[in-house]
Each structure stands twice: as structure tokens, then as C-alpha cells.
Amino acid sequence: MVTLRVAPLEGDKPRIAFYGAMMAIQNFGFFMMYFQLWPTIPAFQALPSGTGQVDCQYLRFWVGFFALDCFIESFCCVWMAMFGYTGSGKGFAFGWILHLLVALPYCVSTVGVPVAIYSDAAEVCRAAMGPGSDVLVAVFWCHCGLFLVYVWMMLSITYFSFLKPTFITKVAPAA
């Protein structure tokens, strides 16, 4: 049986805690921003010409899906960092894989949200949101801009918790 060695250096533990906290704050912040916008998107919106209506469910789905995924992800970040900080091999493997599974929809949403926002139907739906339309666009671009920062933090936790102590740090030979 393979044992996962997770033994962070004492000097790296504050980094692990910091990155875990920042990831949780970022995810919870995006949850709050998207979740508050979600109910402002109408289910259906009449066309300006009065000749029918537009289905806004596609836009509603992506905004709501990403909000809920970010809420769950905020917990997964803390668990992954906690297990890395404490040096629990099995816990870190569980937290890392759980975080990855919940982060995959985060990655997909980073593409799905703008596709929904900038679709032809969404123009009518966003117009019905009033000022919320501009807020939704700004929130997305903030989310998009911080995406790579989030990936960096996740990789940093992996590096300081597992990769560095396992493959990088050399132990001086005994005299």
C-alpha cells in the first residue's frame, strides 16, 4: 500500500493556512455576489417587440450553479488546507481530491457563465435585470480575472503540503 507523505515544514505552515483562507474567502465572496444576482434574472422575459418571450433559464442556471458551487468549494478549500497543514496524508488526499471534484465545475462555469451572459437571448434577459445586468458582467470579469490567482493558490497548497516536503527538501546526511 502506498502511503502519501504529507509533512509540511514549520515555516511553510503559515503559507498553507494563508492560501486556504484566501481561497475560502474568494469562493465565499463569489458565492455571495452571484447568489444575490441569481433571483434578479427573470425566468422568461417578453421581447421588446411584444411578439413573444425569451427563455432566461440558461442564464439563470449558470449563475445559480456557479453560486452554489462556490459555496461548497469554500469548505473544500479549508479542508484541503487543514489536512495539508496538519500533515495528514489520508486527509490531504481526501481533501485534495474533493477540492478537485468541486473545482472542476468551477472551471466549467468560468466558460459557461460568459457564454450564457453574452448569448443573444441573454441580452433581453439582462435588460430586464436593470442595473443588475452591469453588476453581473462586472462580477464575471472579476471572477475571470481572479481565476488564475485561485489556481495559483491551490497549486501552492499542493506544493507546500506535499511536493516540497516529498520531492524538494533534502535532508542532510548523518555525520
Give the H or E element holding residue 44: strand 44-46
pLDDT digits (tens, 9 = 90+) for 22-60: 999 999 999 999 999 999 999 998 887 778 889 999 999
Residues 81 and 17: their CA atoms lie apart, in Å, by 6
Mean pLDDT over each residue of the chain, to the nearest integer: 92
Q: Which region holds residue 50: left if phi is over 0, alpha if psi is between -120 and 50, else beta?
A: left
Q: Evaluate if residue 147 carries a pLDDT over 70.
A: yes
pTM: 0.89
φ and ψ of 47, to 5 deg: -70, 145
pLDDT digits (tens, 9 = 90+) for 162-173: 999 888 866 656
Q: Report which DSSP code applies to 45.
A: E
Query: pLDDT over 70 for what percent of the chain?
Result: 94
Query: Are 27 and 70 in contact, with CB atoms under 8 Å apart?
Result: yes
Give the H or E element holding residue 55: strand 53-55
Q: What's residue 174's pLDDT?
A: 65
C-alpha cell at 149: 490567482
